[in-house]
Structure 1
């Protein structure tokens, strides 16, 4: 296994475990995190769509 494929394997495991935790989060946070981290959407675009401010905390 090459280092790159090892990183992809590790990333897949972490993503799968994190995805399982989403239902335990506040609905707004879970939905936004899914859209950004799993669907690849832009945080700024989501904020614009939801008429919210985009900030990193």
Structure 2
């Protein structure tokens, strides 16, 4: 069972639609999403963002 909230699932569904322009249900999203940076948790400084996110391939920034 996933710990995702309804808002998390809706966001994931929206992002996957941006990627491949196809519609999937929130229970059948073919991508693995991992939150690697959160401004409210990690800070909003550009250098902090870069140091955490640098080197992660195939990322989406929302």
The answer to whether the superposition gives a TM-score over 0.5 is no
Return the structure number with greater helix share. Answer: 1
Q: Who wins on radius of gyration, i.e. which is larger?
A: 1
- Higher relative contact order (CA closer than 8 Å, sequence separation 6+): 2
Alignment TM-score, normalising by the size of structure 2: 0.29
